[in-house]
Amino acid sequence: MGYAGGTAGCVVASRLSEDPNARVLLLERGPLVDGWAAHVPLLASNFTTKTAPVYRQRTVPQPGLGGRVVDMIGGKGLGGGTLVNAELYTRGVPGEYNAWAIAGRQGWGWEDVEPAFKKSQMWIPPKDTPAFMGSEGVNYDAAATFGVPVVADGNDPNGPVAWCSRLDSTIAKDGKRNMIQDAFLPQKLVSERKGRLTISVGALVHRVGFDKESDVIRATSVEFGDDATAKGEGTAKYSVVATREIILCAGAIITPQLLLLSGIGPRADLEFHKIQVVRDMPGVGAHLQDHVSVPVQYHVPLEESIEGLQAKPLFAVGQLLKYVFTREGIFGSQVQQAGIFLPSSALSEDGTAIRKDVLEHAHRHTPRHVPDIEVMFLPVDSDPPTNQGTPKRGVFSYLCAAVQPRSVGSVRLASKDARDAPVVDLGLLSDPEDVVVLRKAVRFALAFQARLPVEGKGVVPMTPWSAPPGERDREVDEWVRENAGTTYHYSSSARMAPEAEGGVVDDRLRVHGVANLRIADASVFPTIPGAHLQAPVVMVAERCAEFVKAAAASS
Ligand SMILES: Cc1cc2nc3c(=O)[nH]c(=O)nc-3n(C[C@H](O)[C@H](O)[C@H](O)COP(=O)(O)OP(=O)(O)OC[C@H]3O[C@@H](n4cnc5c(N)ncnc54)[C@H](O)[C@@H]3O)c2cc1C
């Protein structure tokens, strides 16, 4: 039994139901999202519309951001985050995973995880389409001038530790957005597996039930109700019994909430909410991480930016028709087509030059020079104010992200009701070291933009719009704290680590001290990978399915 049917949940349900003797139930709170628009790459990424299949909530005030609260988004429906994400496929460098293995996570080094990445991927060479909105060609030239290698595939495990590349995407050959349920639970497969795979949407899980009569705590059941009507903690309508395993896949915000509602978490928090303590586990909801990011932005002509679609209806209609007839154009593309990853150690102290001496001796397989900065090239305002009306100018953003952040936050219960969003503290910039990394990243982005060729094909005029007011450290840091926000990459809130070190699951993804309960989603990463998280989440789900199958085979 797996819940819920997000990114990892769909993978786990698909893999486990390969076994004709298995009986798999997938419980997903949100709806089945299908239809034409849901598969148009650009349209589906727009989570700002009222009808977007998302949860919306806010963090508590973030001291690291001067007390600002931050808007959060999570995908709601079969497919989870892949319903609305930006479709980027990035694995992270081998050194990320080798660092986990060195820290003691057995079976999680690069040579262990690479097969799971490969298993779930079908690589399709990119169509040789013209550069998207001018966001590639010129920036590639600038990267090369800057000394950042331009590579064909950023996911190459043996590439350089600093690179600029086009980013792979989860757009299928037919030009449609390939959400996780399209890839792992297509209708045909679900029909073929009728009888051994049941998917229930609109099913709100309230808690896991345990068998407490034996010496061992054993997860035995799941209580759930109708998402629309289920009220309060005591009103779950149904209870299903799991004969083998229960796998939580509700993502880094909700998985810890469900553990807490089930009585697994810090004793004091559970007692405060009058929840019977099944197991006192301080790590639940602790160590929440995210990639904190800040955009350096420029005004560009409207037609060079996604804002042009809103401001120029005829242009938008033309692009839409282009997509309908050729599956190409702006609507057939992901928003971010290219970007730069690099370790801050490879930048000069002031961030404005590449240190070739560092790059020469660095290797992707060693943890030492894992990139901690990503600069995303986005032909759009990366943080649009709501109700802004028709845009008058286009925007190009260099979204600078700290992708190995040290800051951590937490997930705590707001109430005993599973429908209430938990209290989330993303802890953004709570560790001053992350400000230092972003300071360097911002200076790099500014210096990078200044290197764009001033004349030639594809060059568009860019006038500074959102950037630090001065060059001194203090000015940059204050600006970073005033403008930084989430990248929606919530992670590591029920992390894989020994319990004494704040861990929640062991190396086989089993919840410590509880039989028959595993977790497979973004919450288990020991530390947040320096990649967009979808591919690493799928990798974790593949590994989880292997572990469950192996356990079943040996029992
Ligand atoms: C706006 C946005 C853009 C992103 N862009 C990218 C990108 O371009 N590339 C990339 O790699 N990553 C991206 N990410 C991140 C990536 O999509 C997520 O990290 C990943 O999808 C998380 O997978 P998950 O399985 O951990 O959780 P999810 O996919 O979020 O799945 C959790 C599921 O649990 C369900 N659920 C929650 N509560 C309950 C309950 N009580 N009962 C039953 N079901 C429940 C939810 O409805 C959801 O379907 C983006 C994320 C967002 C939000």
User: How are beta strands 264-265 and 71-75 bridged, if at all?
Assistant: unpaired
Q: Is 532 a catalytic residue?
A: yes
Domains 2-34+179-288+491-554 and 125-171+292-404+431-484 share a fold: no
User: How are beta strands 2-3 and 246-248 bridged, if at all?
Assistant: parallel
> Do residues 148 and 162 make contact, with C-beta atoms less than 8 angstroms apart?
yes
Q: Is 365 a catalytic residue?
A: no
> What is the value of ipTM here, to two decimals?
0.99
Nearest CA to ligand 1 atom 14: 85
The residue extents of the domains of the chain are 2-34+179-288+491-554, 125-171+292-404+431-484
- Supply 318's token pair: 């033309």
Could you tell me which residues come within 8 angstroms of residue 370 by beta carbon, excluding any fewer than 6 positions away? 92, 93, 95, 96, 99, 161, 343, 404, 530
Q: Is 512 exposed, middle or buried (0-12, 13-18, 19+ CB in 10 A)?
A: middle
Greatest alpha-carbon pair distance for the chain in Å reads: 76
CA distance 233 to 230: 9
Apex 530 CA angle, 85 and 444, nearest 5:
100
* Assigned fold of 125-171+292-404+431-484: Glucose Oxidase; domain 3 (3.30.560)
Tell me the H-state helices in 451-508: 473-483
SS3 330: helix
- Supply 506's token pair: 């062991």
CA distance 266 to 157: 39
Whether residue 205 is annotated as binding a ligand: the answer is yes
> Do residues 271 and 263 make contact, with C-beta atoms less than 8 angstroms apart?
no
Q: What are phi and psi of 461, to 5 degrees?
A: -65, 135
The answer to whether the bond into 4 is cis (omega within 30° of 0) is yes
CB distance 403 to ligand 1 below 6 Å = no
> Do residues 64 and 509 make contact, with C-beta atoms less than 8 angstroms apart?
no
Q: Letter for the amino acid at 357?
A: D
CB distance 295 to ligand 1 below 6 Å = no
Residue 74 CA to ligand 1 center (angstroms) comes to 6
Closest-CA residue to 146 (of 440, 442, 447, 461) = 447
Q: Cα(first)–Cα(last) distance of the chain, in Å?
A: 17
User: How are beta strands 246-248 and 517-519 bridged, if at all?
Assistant: parallel
CB distance 530 to ligand 1 below 6 Å = no
> Mean pLDDT by 10-residue block, N- to C-terminus, for the chain (555 residues)?
79 95 94 90 86 93 97 94 93 97 97 94 61 52 83 91 90 88 94 94 94 86 82 72 95 98 97 96 98 94 84 88 88 87 93 90 93 94 66 88 98 94 98 97 93 64 86 96 97 98 98 97 98 97 96 88
> Do residues 12 and 18 make contact, with C-beta atoms less than 8 angstroms apart?
no
pTM of the model: 0.95
Q: Please give, one letter per residue, the 3-state secondary structure of 83-127.
A: HCCCCEECCCCHHHHHHHHHCCCCCCCHHHHHHHHHHCCCCCCCC
* Assigned fold of 2-34+179-288+491-554: FAD/NAD(P)-binding domain (3.50.50)
Q: Tokens 């973004």 label which residue?
A: 522
Question: What is the separation of C-alpha 25 from the centre of its chain, rounded to a whole number of angstroms?
Answer: 25
CB distance 75 to ligand 1 below 6 Å = yes
Output the CA–CA distances (angstroms, integers) from residue 484 to 304, 323, 407, 476, in the order listed: 24, 34, 13, 12
Residue 80 CA to ligand 1 center (angstroms) comes to 4
SS3 68: strand
Q: Which residues of 197-221 are buried (b: 16+ CB within 10 A; e: fewer)?
A: bbbbbbbbbbbbbbeeeeeebbbbb
Residue 180 CA to ligand 1 center (angstroms) comes to 10
